């Protein structure tokens, strides 16, 4: 069996959640671990592999925690999602640390490595549980990255006849008395039955009625500060620990129970359970609000649970002022998450101020629904507060791993307009995914917010990511155009150099169009002006448009008149142009007769035929080609490389006999959907010819195709 080790740095964004997940999960539980694709590299992780999970503070000091089995792997763009089934605790020896220092010579947020001989340097087994838990707790207590983590574990769950006694061991030496942390005992429906006050080190105990916990319960740190331990106890485990019923022994004389009636005990958390039950019985929020407001609040006007649920209902019904007033009466740490989110939404609606940071601190962001809800809330806040809240979430005290971050960022709607937030989202897309995703995200924002491209900081961020990309959005030219205009206005040579370095990332026609627009519309001067004209001349010359460079070079000579260096550069380009023109003149002496012969050969084959050209935009020479080849007509199907094109109309024309020949401009078309078109053409014996854009290219490609078909064993064309 393959064995791998995955170690995460505690201080890296979102990774601190790994420790509480590992120390508070029973064997057999499935957890999800998300890794950036480049962390795994070329390693192959077969299913059922053993995965050892742990953390490390510095190179050479790993802390292994749990062994797991790889249950499933999902590959997503930019990252990989591992589903792991947890097993026993694991510990390492000196040989492993030495091996680790040999294999890992640089610090990374996540380290993934294969362990050739795990049995020689690792120990595992159920007997390690208690001892290893203490070792991990002691190691984490020394780390500043876990100063808000309340580490605890249940040491005894003892069901009695009517009660369940629960004892919890704490190990959090950093805990301060004024932090007010507790371990809540939550019933299966999420209602707090009671709590145990946290302590730095020691054991706390509480007793709860059996009836409230018989379906299972959860032990959870409160308040939940971004990450923490959650212990879940199932009903089956609780029932197995319950004492077996004893036979009833008749009472002896003098031991009879006291017959005097006692008053009813007021149960703990009565309002929470009552409101929960009323919500099940009264689905209509208006009717439920009436019951809570007009009846229960009269009985218990100071009850914080009641006020929180009133605020939630007011917010749902659009009564935002009343929701805000009701929720402000309850301390944030005592509100449920639903009420905290309702308070944020209500304050946004009425423009009131709330402490976003304080509310976010108490939210349980291990839940995806809370992450999505918070994303929707923050995106609609006043811009400066939204930016501050986002920075706090992602930077100061991040709760996310890569999956959570992507889920959060995907919740941001396209209509959101704050430039600071858009920039911050892009930063974290780049950090957690890659430059291409961040670049495409920013460029997509230009469609809905064209004013963004006017910002120099925005353009700098886009171009910085573009320089790191292997693939480039076509819309990059919009940003380059604005950046070039700004460079010319300010005579900023640095900006021009950046634009020039990114020109190869555009297609040649895009680059030519960009420089042509500036050459004919901007006021060119100095070194930037001359270099722009030289760059444009080079692109035109390499595109076969050498004749168009002559007026451009005349303009360059005028601009470079007072600079010997610039004049020398212009002279070099002029010499290259003259050489090209001479070659073209010599080539034309042979090409013109050859083209004429090709046209005459093809007229006899194509006279009266119907041609379809696919790719790019229709060119002016299409009509010339139709006349030269004696075609009945040419239909041009426009298509771009970055667009999905529907070819169903062309396919139907082939089936009905309306198309006799197809020419595909392969350098100007996206290839999605072409396989089906080719198969339809083949079945109906319609020639399918590939060529580059240009009159001569199409002419020679068609001529070569029919020359190859001249053999007697191949059909020339469809009858």
pLDDT tens-digit map of 248-273: 555 555 555 555 444 444 444 567 77
The H-or-E segment that residue 111 falls in is strand 110-114
Confidence bin at 714 (pLDDT 50/70/90): very low
pLDDT > 70: what percent of the chain? 75
Per-residue pLDDT at 279 exceeds 50: yes
- Model pLDDT, residue 527: 80
Of 85 and 174, the one with more pLDDT: 85
Cis ω before 11 (30° cut-off from 0) = no
Cβ neighbours for 465, distance < 8 A, ≥ 6 positions apart? 426, 430, 435, 436, 438, 439, 442
- Model pLDDT, residue 262: 46
The H-or-E segment that residue 70 falls in is strand 62-76
Confidence bin at 44 (pLDDT 50/70/90): confident
Q: Give pLDDT tens digits for 651-703.
A: 999 999 999 999 988 767 765 668 788 889 989 999 999 887 778 888 888 98
**What residues are paired with 69 via a beta bridge?**
50, 85
Task: Report the candidate in 223, 178, 218, 233 with the shortest Cα–Cα distance to residue 200.
Answer: 178
What is 627-656 written as a DSSP string?
HHTT-SEEEEE-B-TTS----HHHHHHHHT
**What residues are paired with 156 via a beta bridge?**
167
What is 469-522 written as a DSSP string?
-SS--TTHHHHHHHHHHHHHHHT-HHHHHHHHHHGGGS-HHHHHHHHHHHHHHS
Q: How many whole angstroms separate alpha carbon 285 and alpha carbon 714?
A: 77
Q: Give pLDDT tens digits for 441-464.
A: 788 777 777 788 888 888 888 888
Q: How many whole angstroms separate alpha carbon 674 and alpha carbon 639?
A: 12
* Edge-to-edge strand ranges of the sheet holding 192-197: 192-197, 182-187, 216-222, 230-234
Asked if residue 639 lies in contact with residue 616, where contact means CB atoms within 8 angstroms, the answer is: yes
Q: How many whole angstroms separate alpha carbon 123 and alpha carbon 475?
A: 56
**Joined tokens for residue 703:** 């001529």
- Assign 98 to helix, strand or coil: helix
Per-residue pLDDT at 24 exceeds 70: yes
For 164-168, 358-362, 469-473, which range has the lowest pLDDT when averaged over its residues?
Answer: 469-473
Per-residue pLDDT at 240 exceeds 50: yes
Phi-psi map region of 154: left, alpha, beta (phi>0 left; psi -120 to 50 alpha): beta
Per-residue pLDDT at 643 exceeds 70: no
Asked if residue 282 lies in contact with residue 291, where contact means CB atoms within 8 angstroms, the answer is: yes
- Model pLDDT, residue 266: 42
Confidence bin at 548 (pLDDT 50/70/90): confident
Q: What angle do CA 201, 202, 203 make, to 5 degrees?
A: 140
Mean pLDDT for 614-621 is 85
Task: Report the candidate in 478, 188, 186 with the shortest Cα–Cα distance to residue 196.
Answer: 186
- Model pLDDT, residue 392: 60
Mean pLDDT for 21-42 is 78
Output b/e per residue, 578-589; b: 16+ Cβ within 10 A. eebeeeeeeeee
- Model pLDDT, residue 312: 92
Task: Report the candidate in 674, 624, 632, 626 with the shortest Cα–Cα distance to residue 650.
Answer: 674
Cβ neighbours for 206, distance < 8 A, ≥ 6 positions apart? 165, 166, 185, 194, 195, 196
Confidence bin at 611 (pLDDT 50/70/90): very high
- Model pLDDT, residue 13: 47
Confidence bin at 609 (pLDDT 50/70/90): very high
- Model pLDDT, residue 410: 54
User: Cβ atoms within 10 A of the Cβ of 500, count?
Assistant: 18
| Cα 689–chain centre separation | 41
Of 556 and 57, the one with more pLDDT: 556
Per-residue pLDDT at 323 exceeds 50: yes
Q: How many whole angstroms separate alpha carbon 26 and alpha carbon 10?
A: 22
Which backbone phi and psi does 658 adopt, to 5 degrees? -90, -5
**Joined tokens for residue 110:** 């996540």
User: Cβ atoms within 10 A of the Cβ of 404, count?
Assistant: 20
Average pLDDT, the chain: 76
- Model pLDDT, residue 713: 47
Mean pLDDT for 577-606 is 74
Confidence bin at 474 (pLDDT 50/70/90): low
Mean pLDDT for 263-290 is 74
Q: How many whole angstroms separate alpha carbon 544 and alpha carbon 491?
A: 31
Burial of 702 (0-12, 13-18, 19+ CB in 10 A): buried
**What residues are paired with 610 via a beta bridge?**
633
Per-residue pLDDT at 610 exceeds 90: yes
Of 65 and 378, the one with more pLDDT: 65
**What residues are paired with 583 via a beta bridge?**
none
Q: Which long-range contacts (CB under 8 A, 24 or more apart) does 25-29 make?
A: 25/66, 25/86, 26/86, 26/232, 27/86, 27/87, 27/88, 27/126, 28/85, 28/86, 29/85, 29/86
- Model pLDDT, residue 635: 92
Mean pLDDT for 276-301 is 84
For 289-298, 564-573, 682-691, which range has the lowest pLDDT when averaged over its residues?
Answer: 564-573
Q: Give pLDDT tens digits for 484-530.
A: 888 888 888 888 888 888 888 777 777 888 787 777 655 667 788 78
Asked if residue 662 lies in contact with residue 689, where contact means CB atoms within 8 angstroms, the answer is: yes
Tokens 């959060």: give the residue.
408
Terminal C-alpha separation, the chain: 64
Q: How many whole angstroms separate alpha carbon 498 and alpha carbon 323?
A: 53
Q: Alpha helices of 351-434 — where are they, by DSSP H?
A: 356-362, 368-379, 383-391, 402-410, 419-432
Q: How many whole angstroms separate alpha carbon 372 and alpha carbon 265?
A: 41
């Amino acid at each position: 069996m393959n064995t791998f080790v995955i170690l995460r740095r505690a201080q890296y964004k979102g990774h601190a959640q790994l420790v509480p997940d590992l120390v508070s999960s029973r064997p057999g539980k499935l957890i999800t671990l998300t890794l950036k694709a480049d962390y795994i590299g070329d390693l192959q992780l077969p299913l059922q592999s053993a995965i050892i999970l742990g953390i490390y503070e510095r190179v050479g000091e790993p802390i292994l925690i749990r062994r797991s089995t790889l249950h499933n792997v999902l590959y997503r763009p930019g990252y990989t999602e591992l589903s792991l089934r947890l097993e026993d605790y694991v510990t390492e020896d000196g040989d492993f640390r030495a091996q680790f220092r040999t294999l890992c010579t640089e610090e990374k947020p996540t380290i993934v490595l294969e362990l050739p001989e795990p049995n020689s340097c690792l120990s595992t087994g159920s007997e390690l549980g208690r001892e290893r838990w203490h070792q991990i707790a002691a190691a984490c207590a020394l780390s500043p990255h876990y100063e808000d983590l309340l580490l605890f574990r249940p040491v005894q769950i003892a069901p009695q006849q009517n009660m369940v006694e629960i004892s919890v061991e704490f190990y959090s030496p950093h805990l301060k008395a004024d932090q007010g942390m507790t371990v809540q005992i939550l019933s299966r429906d999420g209602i707090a039955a009671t709590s145990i006050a946290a302590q730095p080190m020691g054991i706390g105990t509480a007793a709860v009625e059996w009836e409230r916990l018989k379906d299972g319960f959860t032990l959870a740190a409160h308040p939940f500060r971004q990450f923490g331990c959650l212990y879940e106890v199932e009903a089956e485990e609780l029932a197995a620990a319950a004492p077996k019923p004893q036979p009833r022994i008749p009472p002896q004389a003098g031991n009879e129970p006291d017959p005097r009636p006692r008053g009813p005990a007021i149960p703990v958390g009565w309002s929470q359970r009552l409101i929960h039950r009323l919500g099940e019985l009264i689905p209509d929020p208006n009717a439920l609000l009436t019951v809570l407001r007009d009846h229960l609040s009269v009985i218990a006007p100071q009850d914080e649970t009641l006020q929180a649920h009133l605020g939630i209902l007011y917010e749902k019904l659009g009564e935002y002022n009343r929701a805000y007033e009701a929720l402000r009466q309850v301390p944030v740490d005592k509100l449920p998450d639903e009420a905290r989110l309702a308070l944020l939404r209500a304050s946004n609606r009425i423009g009131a101020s709330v402490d976003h940071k304080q509310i976010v601190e108490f939210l349980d962001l291990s839940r995806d629904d809370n992450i999505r809800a918070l994303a929707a809330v923050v995106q609609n806040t006043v811009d400066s507060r939204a930016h501050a809240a986002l920075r706090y979430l992602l930077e100061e005290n991040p709760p996310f791993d890569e999956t959570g971050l992507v889920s959060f960022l995907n919740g941001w709607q396209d209509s959101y307009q704050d430039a600071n937030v858009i920039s911050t989202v892009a930063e974290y897309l780049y950090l957690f995914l890659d430059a291409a995703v961040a670049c495409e995200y920013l460029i997509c924002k230009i469609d809905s917010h064209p004013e963004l491209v006017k910002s120099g900081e925005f353009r700098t961020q886009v171009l910085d990511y573009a320089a790191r990309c292997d693939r480039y959005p076509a819309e990059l030219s919009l940003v380059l155009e604005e950046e070039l205009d700004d460079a010319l206005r300010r005579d900023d040579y640095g900006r021009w150099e950046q634009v020039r370095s990114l020109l190869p990332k555009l297609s040649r026609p895009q680059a030519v169009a960009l420089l042509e627009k500036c050459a004919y519309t901007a006021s060119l001067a100095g070194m930037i002006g001359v270099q722009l004209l030289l760059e444009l001349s080079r692109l035109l010359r390499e595109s076969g448009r050498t004749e168009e460079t002559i007026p451009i070079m005349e303009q360059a000579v005028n601009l470079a008149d007072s600079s010997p260096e610039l004049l020398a550069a212009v002279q070099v380009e002029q010499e290259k142009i003259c050489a090209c023109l001479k070659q073209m003149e010599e080539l034309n002496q042979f090409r013109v007769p050859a083209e004429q012969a090709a046209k005459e050969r093809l007229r006899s084959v194509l006279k009266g035929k119907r041609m379809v050209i696919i790719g790019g935009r229709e060119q002016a020479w299409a009509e010339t080609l139709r006349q030269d080849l004696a075609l009945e007509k040419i239909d041009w199907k426009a298509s771009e490389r970055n667009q999905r094109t529907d070819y169903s109309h062309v396919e139907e024309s082939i089936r009905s006999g309306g198309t006799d020949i197809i020419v595909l401009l392969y350098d100007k078309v996206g290839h999605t959907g072409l396989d089906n078109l080719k198969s339809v053409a083949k079945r109906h014996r319609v020639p399918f010819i590939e060529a580059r854009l240009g009159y001569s290219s199409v002419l020679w490609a068609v001529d070569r195709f029919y020359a190859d078909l001249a053999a007697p064993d191949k059909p020339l064309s469809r009858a």
